Structure 1
Amino acid sequence: MNDKHEQFKQVLDDHHQWPCPYAFKFIVPTENLPLFQKTFPEAELHTRESKTGKYTSVTMESNMCSSKEVMAVYEKAAEIPGIMSL
């Protein structure tokens, strides 16, 4: 694990008591929204399309058991082309 991952893990552990609900926020190219939904089929998603329709903001709340579990979701999401994690 590189230093940035280790720092992020530490921040998560310092600010959360596991297990707890965790809100993930992403900006997804609208054309890749079906891929996002396929990647996280069990997740409850709240979406809002941009004014131009080119991007969709996605909020996904999930109960997480550890910082490693949170980081695994971000790593899985990073495989979607054009995604931005907030």
Structure 2
Amino acid sequence: MSLIAAASFFGWLVGPLAGGYLAQYGAAMAFQVAAVAVFLCMIFVATVIKETHKVSNEQSFLSLFKSNNSLTLLSHPNILNLFVLQFFSVLV
């Protein structure tokens, strides 16, 4: 998880810096370079990272959504208490 957070924060740092340097060539250039970078990352992920989880059952999307959403966690009392505490702390 820390590697994911580090990569995310690195993107938050490098993105605006690159956009600022590329702004002298026009706003379109910054977006074109970003599109190329995203495409290269997509190719990297598709070729280097192997699939580790194969779904073996053939269920409908709706039944999978009903059984595997985050709201099912609220059936656990400790998580429900944490949810209520977090909800009301955001309101204040």
**Structure 2 length as normaliser, TM-score?**
0.29
Return the structure number with greater strand share.
Answer: 1
Higher relative contact order (CA 8 A, sep 6+): 1
* Larger of the two Rg values belongs to structure: 2
